[in-house]
Amino acid sequence: MTMTELSTPQPGIKRFIKIDWNIGALKTASPRYWSFVWMLIIMTTLGVLAWVVVLTTGGNAMGQRDNFTWGMWFADYMFYVGLAAGGLVVYASVHLFGAEQFRPLSRLAVLMAGLLTMVALLGDLTDLVRVWRIFWFVVTPNISAIFVYTGSAAGFYMVLCFVDLWILVTGVGGEKLAFRMTLIALPVAIYLHTTTAFVLALNKSRELWNSAVMVPIFLTSAVASGVALLLICAYILQHYHVLEFKKSMFRSLATLLATVIIMDLFLLVVEIATVYWPTAAKAGHTLRFSEFLTGPYAWQFLPVLTLGIIAFALLAGRKTRHIPAVQITASALYVIAIFFKRYTLMSMGFAIGPLGQTQNPYIPSLVEALIAIGLLSMGMLFFTIATKILPLRVPLEEHAAASERADAASEPTLEPGVAL
């Protein structure tokens, strides 16, 4: 490599919208990287083709029916929106609560939040056979329909995440703007999760959904699964030398995860107690919940409890919590547990319909599965490419500057030229 002048941009780096896109990194990427990228492209294409099948042949290609009104897309929507929360909580804690140990994660966290919300929204759209009619959302929105709130919140949140990422990567506005963005993003994230929980909770027609605890349980599940996914991604990116983190950062993340997992499990137990306690039990509720404890839906719900308890047990021990394998295993278990939880939550609305008829468990059709896998692959594809070409590494000087400022603050500020 020849020496270059300081003012000349590095070869392969293209500056666009004030971001240094490292396109050159793609050219030097390993064949393994490219085979992974091509696999994701193929799966995304299969997903697009499956969606074309739905658009041309109608909803019959999907496994959903009158009795199972919503299916895979809705479980995925709840799952992805939840996962997006973890990133934001970590990012917000850097700027709002001074959790400096999470600062190296901030760009990665915001990127993940944006991409996951995008996938969640696209899942929603691919369920609509006449997707072009979506413009009625803007023309004649119904203010009593919760979909209007959660849909717009997700759209706004996604844009906010990408704008936030741009601010963090370019450094425009500095620390002050990043802090102000947090002040907007955090309430919007809470609002998004609240309205997503309301999609279920605000239905008196669906006994097991119609619970106020749905909102806090959505928030805890979201933060737990989001932090768990962030931890896994951080380990993967460290493994491939994309980013570097201190061990103490992973320990802090694992402690945060354990705390939120136990809150999440606690809320679930509270809900179950309310359904079965003799003075509260209603026949319609207990009958429906029993489908998930001992009936044909148990395979969906029992993993939520068992995987969740195992994940907490792994992280609860002080002596084992710092071991990377334990952290990764617990995180993976909890992400899987939350997926089952979303799937179960979706089923809880339909296992026994409003007219009391018991339904067989819903399994997505091949077309639905391909769309779901295609969307996930698309999200992973964007993520894989972004980790290569976007400057996700938080510069050391920025990290150091934050600590420096903390030190400087304890000193009296002097006007230039003023002598002591």
Q: Tell me which residues in 204-233 interact with another protein (CB under 8 A).
A: 204-206
Q: Residue 288, Cβ neighbours under 10 Å: how many?
A: 23
Q: Of 169, 157, 173, whose CA–CA distance to 16 is shortest?
A: 169
**x-marked contacts with another protein along 390-409 as a string, rule CB under 8 A:** -----x-xx--xx--xx-xx
Residues 27, 32, 176, 247: which binds another protein (CB under 8 A)? Answer: 176
- Cα–Cα distances (Å) from 81 to 122, 221, 235, in that order, read 12, 11, 22
Interacting span for another protein (CB under 8 A) from 9-17, 37-45, 169-177, 321-329: 169-177
Q: Which residues of 77-105 are buried (b: 16+ CB within 10 A; e: fewer)?
A: bbbbbbbbbbbbbbbbbbbeeebebbbbb
The contacts found for 266-274 with CB under 8 angstroms, 24 or more apart, are 267/213, 267/216, 267/217, 267/220, 268/217, 268/304, 268/305, 268/308, 270/213, 271/211, 271/213, 271/217, 274/211, 274/213
Unique residue bearing structure tokens 């490599």: 1
Q: Does 314 bind another protein (CB under 8 A)?
A: no
Q: Does 56 bind another protein (CB under 8 A)?
A: no
Residues 183, 316, 325, 363: which binds another protein (CB under 8 A)? Answer: 183
Q: Which amino acid is located at 139 in the chain?
A: V
Q: Does 413 bind another protein (CB under 8 A)?
A: yes
Structure-token pair, residue 128: 């609509």
Q: How far is the CB of 83 from another protein (least distance, A)?
A: 21
Q: How far is the CB of 75 from another protein (least distance, A)?
A: 14
Residues 33, 36, 70, 235: which binds another protein (CB under 8 A)? Answer: 70
Residues 361 and 297: beta-carbon distance below 8 Å? yes
Q: Which amino acid is located at 189 in the chain?
A: A
Q: Of 79, 346, 304, whose CA–CA distance to 209 is shortest?
A: 346
Q: Does 191 bind another protein (CB under 8 A)?
A: yes
Residues 1 and 365: beta-carbon distance below 8 Å? no
Q: Does 353 bind another protein (CB under 8 A)?
A: yes
Q: Does 420 bind another protein (CB under 8 A)?
A: no
Phi–psi pair at 22, nearest 5 degrees: -90, 70
Q: How far is the CB of 86 from another protein (least distance, A)?
A: 18
Compute the chain's Rg from CA coordinates.
23
Q: How far is the CB of 209 from another protein (least distance, A)?
A: 9
Q: How far is the CB of 292 from another protein (least distance, A)?
A: 15
Residues 101, 117, 126, 195: which binds another protein (CB under 8 A)? Answer: 195
Q: Of 311, 417, 411, 376, whose CA–CA distance to 72 is shortest?
A: 376
Q: Residue 246, Cβ neighbours under 10 Å: how many?
A: 10
Q: How far is the CB of 278 from another protein (least distance, A)?
A: 19
Q: Residue 279, Cβ neighbours under 10 Å: how many?
A: 4
Q: How far is the CB of 274 from another protein (least distance, A)?
A: 18
Interacting span for another protein (CB under 8 A) from 115-123, 198-206, 296-304, 335-343: 198-206
Q: Which of residues 279-308 bind another protein (CB under 8 A)?
A: 283-284, 287
Interacting span for another protein (CB under 8 A) from 133-141, 268-276, 310-318, 371-379: 133-141
Residues 62, 160, 222, 328: which binds another protein (CB under 8 A)? Answer: 62
Q: Does 13 bind another protein (CB under 8 A)?
A: no
Which residue lies nearer to another protein by CB, 1 or 143? 143
Q: Does 273 bind another protein (CB under 8 A)?
A: no
